[in-house]
Amino acid sequence: MAKGFGELAKIRGVIHYRLSPYEQNIFAGMFSKGLPNLVRRIRSQILYVAPRHLLWDIYFMTGARKKTNDTTGRTPQISLMMNNLLFKKYFALCIG
């Protein structure tokens, strides 16, 4: 009649999957196997990803800074002073 906890009813045409109570530890091996695997994967890919990322950042940020200075008519020194001033005002508002 009634099935016990974890026992699934059989329905024709429907497939049910379940885990045994011994396989339900979702974090099993996360620190002992997962973190070393993560470090290994990062170390194997960092030389392919990092240079492209850094070059793109340098290219994009240089162009964006130049375009901003050209469109606003500011020199880089004035832009830097304005950014520092805005940061100080924002910081003062957050704290005060």
pTM: 0.42
Q: Which residues contact 16 (CB under 8 A, 6 or more apart)?
A: 8
DSSP 51-93: HHHHHHHHHHHHHHHHHHHHHHT--HHHHHHHHHHHHHHHHHH
Residue 8 pLDDT grade (very low, low, confident, very high; cuts 50, 70, 90): low
Per the CB < 8 A criterion, the answer to whether 8 and 18 are in contact is yes
What pLDDT does residue 63 have?
76
How far is it, in rounded angstroms, from Cα 32 to Cα 3? 37
Q: What is the pLDDT of residues 11-68, one digit of tens each?
A: 777 777 776 766 667 778 888 999 999 999 999 999 998 888 888 888 887 777 777 7
